[in-house]
Amino acid sequence: MPKVIYNYNKCTGLADCADACPVEILEGSESGRWCKPVDDEVKNKAALDKYYKEVDPNDSSKLVIEFDLPECIECQACVASCSQGAIEIESD
């Protein structure tokens, strides 16, 4: 299962990754500060819980979170579109 890895030390919330994703599994946060996977697409809920507890409410974060996203087609469009280098895809 592909892992989409967000480095929240680099993420600026522009959501270029979400705009580039052809399967629409990424989005900007409601606050506009962060980018993240669409909640229903994440299979490792502990990672999602970590995002909501330790990243979402803050204006800055040094966390790197690996989200299991089985719908990811590993096209790397999100990686190429992120000017901050805040996202990676890893095959499992």
pLDDT of 61-73, one tens digit each? 999 999 999 999 9
CA distance 46 to 21: 23
**Angle made by CA atoms 64, 69, 74, in degrees to the nearest 5:** 95
Q: Which pLDDT band, with edges at 50, 70 and 90, does 39 fall under?
A: very high
What is the C-alpha to C-alpha distance for residues 73 and 65, in angstroms, rounded to an integer? 19
User: Cβ of 45: how many Cβ atoms within 10 Å?
Assistant: 10
CATH code: domain of residue 20: 3.30.70.20
Domain count for the chain: 1
Domain that holds residue 19: 3-90
Beta strands in 1-92 (DSSP E): 3-7, 26-28, 35-37, 64-68, 87-90
Mean of the per-residue pLDDT values of the chain: 96
